[in-house]
Amino acid sequence: MILKIAWRNIWRSRTRSLVVIGAIIVGIWAEIFLMSFSEGMVKSYIDNAIQSEISHIQLHQPDFLKDKEVKYVIDDASSLQQALQSTAHVKAATVRSLSNAMIASAKGARGVQIKAVDPANESAVTRIDTKVVEGEYFSEGKKNQILLGRSLAEKMNIKIRSKIVLTFTNLNGDITAAAFRVVGLYETDNTMVDDAVVYTTRQDFNKVLGGGDIAHEAALFLEDPEYLDTVFSVLQAQFPNLKVETYKQISPEIALFDSQMQLSTTIFTVILMLALVFGIINTMLMAVLERIKELGMLMAVGMNKARVFFMIMFETIMLGLVAGPIGLGLAYLTVLYFNHTGIDLGNWSEAMRQFGMSRVVYTTIRPSMFTELAIAVILTALIGSIYPALKAIRLRPVEAIRRI
Amino acid sequence: MKNIITKGITKVYNPDTIPVVALDGVDLEIEQGEFTAIVGPSGSGKTTLLNIIGGLDKPSHGSVTISGTEITKMRDNKLIEFRKEHIGFVFQAYNLIPVLTAEENVEFVMLLQNRPSAERDQRTTELLEAVGLGDKRNTRPAQLSGGQQQRVAVARALAPKPDFILADEPTANLDSKSTENLLDIMARLNHEEGITFVFSTHDQRVIDRAHRVITLVDGKIATDELQNPEK
């Protein structure tokens, strides 16, 4: 009966209850949408970083990481690539020769990093072949091909099929130069990468570098990121002479970005819940104050304080229970829709690319967020109901009944 | 023995500022089965006395004992429990629960008493029939007239089988016909089922029907007389 009274009481002041219910719905919807948008951005940032640049796990000669000198090589790189490729849960693996170099054109010179790759393996790991926007990816039978980022090419005024000269240090420590033909321009979602990385083939580059089947870096892409720790442990045991690192170790800013996004989302949640608490307190206080006489009568005829307290609480929780599923449902549909279509931030695409994010953000959210938010709303309703409920039980029946 | 005994009841409002003495040493004994009216002019202390007897208010001095239990020293929650079992209230403004139907209003206190469903249903039906509202059981208070609402209030007060019904100006908002109707019902319940009614009133129609009339003047009992009711 108390539940029945509580439920019917909600609809006594229909407009007021609908306003609170609306506020809760909008709050939940906005919260989930914002969280899904943030998570989408984080995911875009991490995915871009992993797919275009870092991969899930990298292996290096330990000294290479300290000095980045080309002499710290991994020998018999092809065997390493095959071993990595055949490791459980590894989707694709590649090896690269790396070197810092100077690229020169008629317009000037810039520092770049050469990534000398095995074309097929590299495209399996970073899908760089799909990012070629002008010209083509490496083709068989051609020598000294090179891919440049489109933004770099524009800055250097380099066209497709141009010949460019790269100057770098070879394995003997001598400065050497080699000419390459630009076969394609690529564009990733990260301008910094496009400006600074040029791709050539390992076969050609190793020749001018003065080495055989060498590499400086092995990178691998997993079937699923959840295997990260497992594969990491396996590789550590399998290659004790190499430094094995996950993307979290290689690029700690990813974790930082993720945690900062989570922190800002948490702060937003707290602010939102506080606003809801005050909204609920206001509404329920009004509901109590306009029913003083009735509450006094209930206590007069034998409804004890605990029951009065819970009745007010139930009313508040019911507001949350009405609003919660609607808000969660609307939010779910919105997230689902934008997960499918994405939100095109075309106007900010340059800025987004500066930060390594795609211009289209696909909203995404952990399913547990819905449960967590539902609990948060119920808790908020509970907290919001405490003061009005206390106010109700502090009434003295004789005074309450006397009220007009 | 079911009775109400008050000893030296004094009630002073605003004792620290401008004291107003509402009751001044009221000694009273009301036995089971009485049909008693407490009368007096406005401000004589009728409602205050009824509130104190019903445990809704505490006296400044003195004691109230109901059926052998002194209620003046009880804590709030215990007093609520006591009222639930022993005292039924009928208020001037009916004070029904507006979101519940007539039937649910009557059933409400029995639910608080955890009475079984079958017993609640039977008693609710009986009481609504007794007050002539068998056909209004699913009607909410807003759709009932003042007289009908007060009859529901009487049925609600009777539902938990209290020892006493305390009615504060029960006819104040009713027209003559509704008043007569209500008084007939209460007189019948008093006569046939021995239910004790104590009214505070200055309605002559109620006074005329009472068996005992206690007159309060300035917070004191001026007269306490038995009479033969008109009906």
Each residue of A259-317: pLDDT tens digit?
A: 888 888 888 888 888 888 888 888 888 888 888 888 888 888 888 888 889 988 888 88
- With CA atoms as reference, the chain A residue closest to B50 would be A398
Distance from the A329 Cα atom to the nearest Cα atom in chain B, whole angstroms: 30
For residues A169-186, average pLDDT? 90
Give tens-digit pLDDT for B127-145.
888 888 889 989 999 999 9
pLDDT band at B38 (very low <50, low <70, confident <90, very high): very high
In a domain, B24, yes or no: no
Residue B86 sits in a domain of what CATH number?
3.40.50.300
Residue B219: name the closest of B18, B9, B1 by CA. Answer: B9
Report d(CA A99, CA A216) in Å as an integer.
9
Residues 6+ apart with CB under 8 A from B70: B63, B64
Looking at chain B, the whole-number percentage of residues with pLDDT higher than 70 is: 98
For residues B85-99, average pLDDT? 86
Q: Which of A5, A9, A301 sits opposite B109 (nearest CB)?
A: A301
In a domain, B60, yes or no: no
Q: Is B100 close to A301, i.e. CB distance below 8 A?
A: no
Q: Is the pLDDT of residue B222 over 50?
A: yes
> Any CB–CB contact under 8 A between B83 and chain A?
yes
Report d(CA B77, CA A396) in Å as an integer.
11
β-strands A197-201, A108-117: how paired? parallel
The two structure tokens encoding residue A353: 């690319």
pLDDT band at B231 (very low <50, low <70, confident <90, very high): low
> Any CB–CB contact under 8 A between B107 and chain A?
yes
Report d(CA A350, CA A348) in Å as an integer.
6
Q: Which of B83, B84, B95 sits opposite A294 (nearest CB)?
A: B95
Q: Is A302 close to B81, i.e. CB distance below 8 A?
A: yes
Q: Is the pLDDT of residue B230 over 70?
A: no
Interface probe with B: pick from A11, A295, A301, most Cβ of B within 10 Å: A301
Q: Is A301 close to B89, i.e. CB distance below 8 A?
A: yes
For residues A196-204, average pLDDT? 93
Q: Is A305 close to B76, i.e. CB distance below 8 A?
A: yes
Which residues does chain A have within 8 Å of residue B97's beta carbon, measured at their own beta carbons?
A: 5, 294, 297-298
In a domain, B222, yes or no: yes
Q: Which of B99, B111, B113 sits opposite A8 (nearest CB)?
A: B99
Interface probe with A: pick from B49, B71, B95, B173, most Cβ of A within 10 Å: B95
For residues A137-147, average pLDDT? 89
pLDDT band at B62 (very low <50, low <70, confident <90, very high): very high
Which residues does chain B have within 8 Å of residue A401's beta carbon, measured at their own beta carbons?
A: 56, 91, 95
pLDDT band at A404 (very low <50, low <70, confident <90, very high): very low
- With CA atoms as reference, the chain A residue closest to B52 would be A398
Segments forming the whole domain that contains residue B122:
32-55+75-226
Q: Contact B18/B59 with Cβ under 8 angstroms?
A: no
In a domain, B148, yes or no: yes
Which residues does chain B have within 8 Å of residue A311's beta carbon, measured at their own beta carbons?
A: none
Q: Is B99 close to A1, i.e. CB distance below 8 A?
A: no
For residues A173-186, average pLDDT? 91
pLDDT band at A147 (very low <50, low <70, confident <90, very high): very high
pLDDT band at A356 (very low <50, low <70, confident <90, very high): low
What does the pLDDT read at residue A336? 92
Helix, strand, coil % over all residues of chain B, rounded to 5: 40, 25, 35
What does the pLDDT read at residue A291? 84
Report the domain count for chain B: 1
In a domain, B125, yes or no: yes
Q: Where are the domains of chain A?
A: 2-49+254-402, 62-241
Q: Is the pLDDT of residue A355 over 70?
A: no
In a domain, B16, yes or no: no
Report d(CA A332, CA A94) in Å as an integer.
39
Report d(CA A238, CA A225) in Å as an integer.
20
- With CA atoms as reference, the chain B residue closest to A6 would be B99
Q: Contact B171/B187 with Cβ under 8 angstroms?
A: no
Give the dihedral sign, CA B102/B108/B109/B113.
positive
Whats the size of chain B, residue-wise?
231
Report d(CA B169, CA A227) in Å as an integer.
79
Q: Which of B95, B107, B112 sits opposite A302 (nearest CB)?
A: B112
